[in-house]
Amino acid sequence: MPLRRLLATTVSLAFLSAACAGVASAQVSDEEGQTVTVSGDERLMPIRVYGDRSSEQPGSVAAVGAEAIDDINADHPAEILNELPGVNIHLNSGQEHLLAIRSPVLTGGAGQGSFLVLQNGVPTRSPAFGNVNSLFEIHHDVAEAIEVVRGPGSAKYGSNAVHGLINVILGEPDSGDYLDTRLSGSTLNRYKSDLTGNLSNKARLSLSLQDDAGWRANTGVEQQKLSGSYAFEAGGWDGLAWISASNLNQETAGFLQGFKAYRDDETAKTNPNPEAYRDAQWAMGAVRLTRPLGPGELTLTPFYRWQDMEFAQHFLPNGGVEENGHDAFGLQSKYEIKTSERLTWRVGADVDLASGWLKETQLEPFGFFPGDDRFPVGVHYDYEVDTTVLGLWGEAEWAVSDTVRVLAGLRGETHEYDYTTAVPAGVNGRFKVPADREDSYDLLTPKLGAIWTPQGSTISYFVNYARGERAPQASDLYRLQSQQGIAEADIERLDSIEAGARGSAIQGRLVFDVAAYYAEKENFFFRDSDGLNVTDGSTKHQGIEANASWDVLGDGVFTVAGTASYAEHTYTFDRVVASGSEIIRSGAEVDTAPNWLGDLRLTWRPTEAFEASVSAEYTGEYFTDPGNTQTYPGHTVTNARLEYAFHENLEAFVIVRNLFDLNYADRADLAFGSTRYFPGEPLNATFGIRKRFD
């Protein structure tokens, strides 16, 4: 097709331009590490991030800097991200979780493919091989910053940036030779250590270790993460090479069964699936190369990634074991040129070549009733998929006047799938195996936004339209159920419009960001509460989000900061299945989608050496099934933190989580006719120290 030929030609030219650019002189790209303003107490301080997002860009962005990441000392990245507006990450067991950004909490293919997770601006997974537990691979523990884009990503980012994206920025080598250490232990027998060594402006290496005995029965977790970066100059290029890897071995707890089972202390500690486990390994590396070329600047980022995972499917009544993996290599390229004081152009081409596989095996007989043969013992699926993804994008940033700026962008992508199966094609109980086949999808995602900052004003106003699309996950296409047709999954598409304001008031003591949005999604692929795949759903999403920080006295001693989000996520189609118990009506609320989310933080810092804070995280009531027949009442969890610096290189801290020992559920749903919960952790305290060796 013409689009595919155009994309392939552009990628080839990007490689060719890299080879021909060797005669130019070196120059560091400011845009690849620019300063932006983020919101929320320490989150108001400038940080260096990758990409093009800043306080001058349309759309909704929130970010957390290194100091806040260090203070939170998160056992799970959800503890950081849930402090941001519009983000609602549900914890399951150990490091397992499910994401929501301006969306319901999504599972299955929707949970894998609706959110783009990046590290240093490079996706951590190839588009067709997502992971609903996508955050346990990132090295959040020692990140320099984490930024979250709510709503579809810019034209620079492609498939899977539907509801939003998360970009984890690793630290780069900086000045000085030092070793940063952080050690902590908790009353739940959870022990962590983070070590970062820096060699003056050349190299940086970080190691994070976690050993968690688990507060529920048979739920131990061991995890190791490693990341490193090296800055260099070669052949006229300024370069930064980086690697990142993680290993996870955990015993996994299953859902608690029964209405409000999470409210009983002893029941909450039990594990109905002591045989469950998850072993996962992941690694990626990249080199970012930048140099002037002609009137502009060229940036090339070749990368490689690999992952392998095996786990027990404790969340399905028939159980079984899944093994999956993929490896990939590719290139991101960008050329930026400023044609005038008012107009900047950026164009880029991306390629991602991946090979993935999946095998599902049921080890023991299962049936809901005598003679139930829908879940046969043996291998259900065993397939390989080779994918080719080519993308071409461009955007223009135009200062229409001294007060109005416009950003317009367009991205085109093509996705090619080559699937082969090692088990016979056909129906095997509830499972359908397609014959060998090839599939392809073309995506086109426009973006258009504007910002108006009145002369002399400290407040900016913005509007933004964006389309997000995702090609089907490999599991959407080839892990079928008996009632499905072949290739029913289609491109999932979300159109979003938002408007908002951000800035400061009260002589800069109050900083805020507020946005309202409306979005419609079609071809929504999800799994209902009977475990049946729905391939053609549609939903509507609308809400308002606010983020603010107030320096009460103007001297930084007492700060009040928080977020609030109100959202309505509703189905816009009808579905009645004779073989299932679930009925969906247009206008019903999507399950696991609370209307209200909030976070409030009070921070007191009377001296440079001492800081105390208390925070409360609120999750509102939500329906646990698409039929809107059952609800979870919501909860408010309170945390406290104390820190004392003995001197500039030695600090001690205490973090108390679930201060009032509330019985609550991290996740609640209704599946296979049963109410299920993952209970939240009881009252616990973490004690730790930080020490820098120069």
Kindly state the average pLDDT of the residues 21-46: 34
Q: How confident is the model at residue 24 (pLDDT cuts 50, 70, 90)?
A: very low
Q: Tens of pLDDT along 300-316?
A: 999 999 999 999 998 88
Q: How far is the C-alpha of 292 from the C-alpha of 27, rounded, in Å?
A: 6
Q: Mean pLDDT score of the chain, rounded to an integer? A: 90
Kindly state the average pLDDT of the residues 344-354: 97
Kindly state the average pLDDT of the residues 647-673: 94
Q: How confident is the model at residue 11 (pLDDT cuts 50, 70, 90)?
A: very low
139 in Cβ contact with 197 (< 8 Å): no
From the number of C-beta atoms within 10 Å of its C-beta (0-12, 13-18, 19+), residue 597 rates as: buried
Total tally of structural domains belonging to the chain: 1
Q: How confident is the model at residue 20 (pLDDT cuts 50, 70, 90)?
A: very low
Q: How confident is the model at residue 50 (pLDDT cuts 50, 70, 90)?
A: very low
163 in Cβ contact with 494 (< 8 Å): yes
Q: What is the pLDDT of residue 76?
A: 94
In 3D space, the residue among 25, 144, 132 whose CA is nearest the CA of residue 592 turns out to be: 132
Kindly state the average pLDDT of the residues 172-199: 96
Q: What is the pLDDT of residue 52?
A: 37
Name which of 65-74, 120-129, 538-547, 657-666 the model is least confident about.
65-74
pLDDT at 6 over 50: no
State both tokens at 354.
């991946």
Q: How far is the C-alpha of 582 from the C-alpha of 144, rounded, in Å?
A: 45
Dihedral angle sign, alpha carbons of residues 648, 651, 657, 661: negative
Residues 6+ apart with CB under 8 A from 210: 75, 190, 191, 192, 221, 222, 223, 224
Q: Tell me the three state secondary structure of residue 430.
A: coil
Q: What is the pLDDT of residue 581?
A: 64
Using alpha carbons only, give the angle 516, 521, 522 rounded to the nearest 5 degrees: 165
Name which of 152-161, 337-346, 467-476, 492-501 the model is least confident about.
152-161
664 in Cβ contact with 621 (< 8 Å): no
Give the residue numbers spanning the domain of 92.
2-693
Q: Tens of pLDDT along 321-333?
A: 999 999 999 999 9
Kindly state the average pLDDT of the residues 333-352: 96
Kindly state the average pLDDT of the residues 676-687: 97
Q: How far is the C-alpha of 238 from the C-alpha of 25, rounded, in Å?
A: 9
From the number of C-beta atoms within 10 Å of its C-beta (0-12, 13-18, 19+), residue 32 rates as: buried
305 in Cβ contact with 126 (< 8 Å): yes
Backbone angles phi, psi at 79, to 5 degrees: -65, -30
Q: How far is the C-alpha of 115 from the C-alpha of 101, rounded, in Å?
A: 8
Q: Tell me the three state secondary structure of residue 19.
A: helix
Name which of 40-44, 291-295, 450-454 the model is least confident about.
40-44
Q: What is the pLDDT of residue 305?
A: 98
Q: How far is the C-alpha of 663 from the C-alpha of 680, rounded, in Å?
A: 7
Q: What is the pLDDT of residue 1?
A: 42
Kindly state the average pLDDT of the residues 185-199: 97
Name which of 32-46, 177-191, 583-597 the model is least confident about.
32-46
Question: What residues does 329 pair with on adjacent strands?
Answer: 304, 353
- Our CA dihedral for 127, 128, 129, 133, rounded to 10 degrees, sits at 60
Residues 6+ apart with CB under 8 A from 571: 537, 538, 539, 584, 585, 586, 587, 588, 589, 590, 626
Kindly state the average pLDDT of the residues 554-565: 94
For 164, what's the count of Cα atoms within 13 Å in the CB-facing half-sphere? 27
For 254, what's the count of Cα atoms within 13 Å in the CB-facing half-sphere? 17
Q: What is the pLDDT of residue 579?
A: 58
Residues 6+ apart with CB under 8 A from 221: 94, 95, 210, 211, 212, 214, 248, 249, 250, 251
Complete DSSP assignment for 58-107 = SSEEEEEEHHHHHHHT-SSTHHHHTTSTTB-PEE-STT-EE--BSS----
- How many other C-beta atoms lie within 10 A of the C-beta of residue 401? 9
pLDDT at 12 over 60: no
pLDDT at 40 over 80: no
Q: Tell me the three state secondary structure of residue 371.
A: coil
Q: How confident is the model at residue 583 (pLDDT cuts 50, 70, 90)?
A: confident
Q: What is the pLDDT of residue 151?
A: 95
Question: What residues does 432 pair with on adjacent strands?
Answer: 427, 480
Q: How confident is the model at residue 185 (pLDDT cuts 50, 70, 90)?
A: very high
Q: How confident is the model at residue 3 (pLDDT cuts 50, 70, 90)?
A: very low
pLDDT at 409 over 50: yes
Kindly state the average pLDDT of the residues 669-694: 94
User: Whats the size of the chain, residue-wise?
Assistant: 694
Q: How far is the C-alpha of 76 from the C-alpha of 96, rounded, in Å?
A: 9
| CATH number, position 459 | 2.40.170.20
Q: What is the pLDDT of residue 536?
A: 87
Please give the residue that has the higher pLDDT: either 50 or 614.
614
Q: What is the pLDDT of residue 42?
A: 38
From the number of C-beta atoms within 10 Å of its C-beta (0-12, 13-18, 19+), residue 501 rates as: middle
Name which of 32-36, 86-90, 258-262 the model is least confident about.
32-36
Would residue 189 be called left, alpha or beta, if left means φ above 0 and alpha means ψ between -120 and 50 degrees?
Answer: left
Residues 6+ apart with CB under 8 A from 578: none
Residues 6+ apart with CB under 8 A from 2: none
Please give the residue that has the higher pLDDT: either 230 or 536.
230
40 in Cβ contact with 83 (< 8 Å): yes
In 3D space, the residue among 418, 412, 406, 514 whose CA is nearest the CA of residue 459 turns out to be: 514
Query: Is residue 13 within a helix (H) or strand (E), and if so which, with residue range?
Result: helix 2-20
In 3D space, the residue among 157, 165, 148 whose CA is nearest the CA of residue 65 turns out to be: 148
Kindly state the average pLDDT of the residues 334-347: 95
Q: What is the pLDDT of residue 56?
A: 65
Q: What is the pLDDT of residue 41?
A: 37
106 in Cβ contact with 90 (< 8 Å): no
Q: What is the pLDDT of residue 580?
A: 60
In 3D space, the residue among 244, 53, 241 whose CA is nearest the CA of residue 143 turns out to be: 244
Q: How confident is the model at residue 187 (pLDDT cuts 50, 70, 90)?
A: very high
Helices marked H in 214-351 — which ranges?
Answer: 265-268
Kindly state the average pLDDT of the residues 382-406: 96
Q: What is the pLDDT of residue 527?
A: 79
Q: Tell me the three state secondary structure of residue 268.
A: helix
In 3D space, the residue among 169, 129, 118, 112 whose CA is nearest the CA of residue 353 turns out to be: 129
Q: 185-206 b/e with 16+ CB inside 10 Å = b?
A: ebebebbbbbebbbeeeebbbb
